[in-house]
Amino acid sequence: MVEEQIVFRGIKSQQVISAMLKVPRHLFVPLSLRYEAYGDYPLPVGEGQTISQPYMVAEMTADLELKSEDKVLEIGTGSGYQSAVLAEIVKKVFTIEKIVSLANKAELLLQKLGYKNVFIEVGDGSQGLQAHAPYDGILVTAGAPQIPEPLFKQLKEEGRLIIPIGDRIFQTLTKVKKIKGKLIKEKLFDCMFVPLLGTYGWRNGSE
């Protein structure tokens, strides 16, 4: 997976490559799909949600430009796979999931795997997590209609926010930097994520 899907497509970050070699992705997918765990695509993880394609996880992680001392916020814990990859690289990972059953399952697995630097919260991640702000990096793993204001506020100066922005189906992966308090935006590439629901995301199933 790492050679053919990640290094081959140009990911050079050694920290990302090492992290993805280390985290056992098959444990984060449902038992019935384990044989597909290392395929070049996202997979369902229950409750209508998905674990992202391995390359997407690598790309988003690399785009965060992480350092080992960093504190990162992830919105959309899902299976917990992306949280584990982040936890291999940085000091602390806070992650928020709105679906209780997914959060509980991810928490159990991450504990079992020995991750002591991942902290899971249940709630509306579109509001961020003020209690532990500011963050060096914020990663949103669901598609948003716009940049949620609280997330930008909770970024440190020179912090990075990676977020898919667009409609409910198609988005553009977007990198936001906070430079002298100002928002500097860079469009990376087109992508497809499940919707970010909540106050600063999509309001309901039809909007």
Q: What residues are labeled active site?
A: 52
- Tell me if residue 133 falls in helix, strand or coil: coil
Q: Does 154 bind ligand SAM (CB under 6 A)?
A: no
Residue 104 half-sphere exposure toward CB, CA atoms < 13 A: 5
Site for ligand SAM in 67-126 (CB under 6 A): 75-76, 78-79, 81-82, 96-99, 102, 124-126
> In angstroms, rounded to a whole number, what is the distance separating the alpha carbons of residues 72 and 94?
6
Q: How many CB atoms lie within 10 A of CB 195?
A: 20
Phi and psi dihedrals of 45, rounded to 5?
-125, 10
Residue span binding ligand SAM (CB under 6 A) among the ranges 110-118, 129-137, 157-165, 189-197: 189-197
Q: How many CB atoms lie within 10 A of CB 88?
A: 18
Site track 4-43 with ligand SAM (rule: CB under 6 A), x = hit:
----------------------------------------
Closest separation in Å from C-beta 180 to ligand SAM: 29
Name residue 174's amino acid: T
Which residues here bind ligand SAM, judged by CB under 6 A?
45, 49-52, 75-76, 78-79, 81-82, 96-99, 102, 124-126, 141-142, 193-194, 196-198, 201
